Amino acid sequence: MTKSAITIITPTTGSDGLERLFESLERQTVKWTHILLWDNKREGKYLYPDAKTLKVASLHDINGENRYSIVIPDDAVQGPACGSALRAIGLMAANTPYVTFADSDVYYEDNHLETMLEAVKDKEWAYCKRRIWESENDCIGIDDFESVGDSLNRKVPYEMVDNNCMIFSRRFGSSGAVLYRETKEYNDDRLFYHFLKDHAGEPGKTELATVNQICPPRLEGMFRQYCTKE
């Protein structure tokens, strides 16, 4: 895992969105390592239909020179936010200078990793913006509230950066893994953002929306209220 500059961590149930993420990674201009963390709710075409086996099917189609799958026992996660525990395991497994996250409902612009690595140069962490989509053909807008940190122009009183928009050095990732492992709420990115802000120095910022994310239906109203239309 030491040949690439960055590890992408994806907790997943095997959703169809993985195909789009895989395709966007293949178009990146820098070398990467991809770790897939499969939880106990696995489903989809990559997996055996019998959930009791808890095994990933067709691993030869997923794993490769720079992609690795880790299957997590069903008693390793806790609370409703099971992706947090999976991210913690990925953070400890990563062995590249920098680390980032990509959920299976995310895909990248072609220059995403290149611009992120440029922004984090000589720093410990950095972040970009994200573009939110209701569907493949319906763009809600640019997230100017949950991917902008402490910007004075943010549209909400709180500050955070979504997991998918952050890049950080491995040493801070492994140090912060406990925050992901122990939380039982949907707040791991908020916890980690404040950890980085308090301990990792000034962040780099690309100011570019190079992450694309399909909006969960339950959050559509919030994103339509706060996103900036292009």
Any idea what the CATH number is for the domain that residue 99 is in? Answer: 3.90.550.10
DSSP H or E run through 91: helix 82-93
100 in any annotated domain: yes
Residue 33's domain comprises 6-226
Question: What is the pTM assigned to this prediction?
Answer: 0.90
Report how far residue 36's alpha carbon sits from residue 40's, in angstroms, rounded to the nearest whole number: 13
Does 1 map to a domain? no
How far is the C-alpha of 195 from the C-alpha of 2, rounded, in Å? 26
Residue 179 forms part of a structural domain: yes
User: Number of folded domains in the chain?
Assistant: 1
Q: For every one of its 230 residues, what pLDDT tens digit does the chain have, with 9 covering 90 and above? A: 448 999 999 998 777 788 899 999 999 999 999 999 886 555 554 554 444 444 455 554 677 789 988 877 766 666 667 789 899 999 999 999 999 999 999 999 999 999 999 999 999 999 999 999 998 789 999 999 999 999 999 999 999 999 999 999 999 999 999 999 999 899 999 999 999 999 999 999 999 999 999 998 899 999 999 999 98
